A and B are shown apart, each in its own frame.
Chain A
Amino acid sequence: MSDARFSFVLRLADTSLVLGQRLGEWVGHAPALEEDLGLANLSLDLIGQARLLLSYAGELEGKGRGEDQLAYLRDGAEYRNVSLAEQPNGDFGHTVVRQLLIDAWQLQLYDELQRSSDRRLAEIAAKALKETRYHFRYSAGWVVRLGDGTPESKSRGQSALDELWRFTAELFTADALDEEMATLGVGPRLETLRPKWLARIDEVLGEATLTRPTDVQYPWHGKSGQHTEHLGYLLAEMQFLQRTYPGAQW
């Protein structure tokens, strides 16, 4: 039972960690100083949430692994993030579209999780929810500015949306673990998150004058450990130091 709960908490943790690492890649490269700071702040929140979740996951597992061991010493196949989170940054438009799709999802997810039967998870979710509202405001604001901007920014926003949309089915497709957690009242019924998520997305896309792509039913399986080729490169960079100098500390 606590094995299942460990795996479930890992999914949440890894999605935040991987997305936080992706956003961190922008530091020093963003189009303007304000966006450099903005993306770094989002990254920091996500990594903070991941730390809380990974520490809890380590306690559930009960094998003495802490947040650092879980973050730095697991291989790609052991990572449980949704595939959307690991997709490369692309251009700035690509990054904010990916962010919007995940922010709107995490808003629904954390809203539900704050009523989880798992008290610790509920507490982490209530904290994360407050931060995610700012993330959503940031990503939604930028998607509107780019979509309803110049022909160039609009076409980049649209192509990012067209490319990333196929990864959203995974967010709402429950597997056996999701079902088990929902039955225990630990997690939500994933498919029930979609209507509100879609309403938020549609509102933003409407203002952004972007077109919602056709749904692709195939769910990717990042949360079961089957990742796209991009995750390995991300982990190689993130884990390099601990792999090369095991146990190194500041």
Chain B
Amino acid sequence: MSAAGPEAPPGTASSTAVSDLEASVRELLERVMDPEIPVLSVIDLGIVRHVRRAGNDGIEVGVSPTYSGCPATEVIRRLIARALHSSGYPQAYVVDVLSPPWSSDWITPGGREKLRRYGIAPPAVAVATVRRLFAQPQIACPRCGSTQTERISEFGSTPCKAHYRCISCAEPFDYFKCI
């Protein structure tokens, strides 16, 4: 499986020097929030794959879908374009980047902390291998921190979340799945 090796996180692949343009676009995108998880920006999610100049005034932003069928993807594309259009980049546009497929490993450390504070347990372990995906990791309750939790359902309110319950504090909570 050539595609299964460790993957480079997005946006760090090619050059070490980040251009001024890319830096300012990324800063703008830190204020574009996921419509389903409004504490998480598209940068926190790790779905912004590249920012590059296209032609004279154009800017191309590469974005990966989290799940193929996630309805938020379309909204996110529009939100990104709108944010850039209204901030001095009228020629900016968004393209899909499918490969390598997005992984929950790419959610930033800051993003994980925001998820936890919002009441969603962040993805527990790096996916890395199929075996780890099938293992049942210990999920800590985002409210009380107890690891005495149980999975109620593999599928929650959005494609990216599973439904859990904390045995210690009896609260139900969402868990952001590893993929």
Q: Which A positions have Cβ atoms within 8 angstroms of B? A: 34-35, 37-38, 40-49, 51-52, 111, 114-115, 122-124, 126-128, 130-131, 133-134, 137-138, 141
Contacts and interface: CB of A to CB of B under 8 A. Distances in A.
B68 interface: yes
B86 interface: no
B68 A127 contact: yes
Contact of B153 (A38, A130, A131, A133): A38
B94 to A, nearest CB: 16
B18 interface: no
A130 B133 CA distance: 10
Contact of A133 (B3, B130, B159): B130
A114 B2 contact: yes
A42 B152 CA distance: 17
B155 A131 contact: no
Contacts of B154: 38, 134, 137-138, 141
A111 B156 CA distance: 26
Given A38-B153, A41-B155, A48-B70, A127 B101 contact: yes
Contact of B177 (A40, A43, A52, A134): A134
28 contacts: A34-B152, A34-B153, A34-B163, A37-B153, A37-B156, A37-B157, A38-B154, A41-B155, A44-B70, A48-B67, A49-B68, A51-B68, A114-B2, A122-B99, A123-B101, A124-B98, A126-B98, A127-B99, A127-B101, A128-B68, A130-B101, A130-B179, A131-B179, A133-B130, A133-B134, A134-B154, A134-B177, A141-B154
Given A46-B69, A52-B68, A138-B155, A133 B98 contact: no
Contacts of B100: 126
B1 interface: yes
B2 A127 contact: no
Contacts of B99: 122-123, 126-127
Nearest to A39: B155
A131 B68 contact: yes
Contacts of B69: 43-49, 51
B98 A114 contact: no
A37 B155 contact: yes
A43 B68 CA distance: 11
A142 to B, nearest CB: 10
Contacts of A48: 65, 67-70
B3 A114 contact: yes
Contacts of A128: 68
Chain A CB within 10 A, most for which of B2, B71, B155, B159: B155
Contacts of A38: 153-155
B133 A133 contact: yes
A103 B55 CA distance: 44
A86 B178 CA distance: 30
Contacts of A47: 69
Contacts of A122: 3, 99
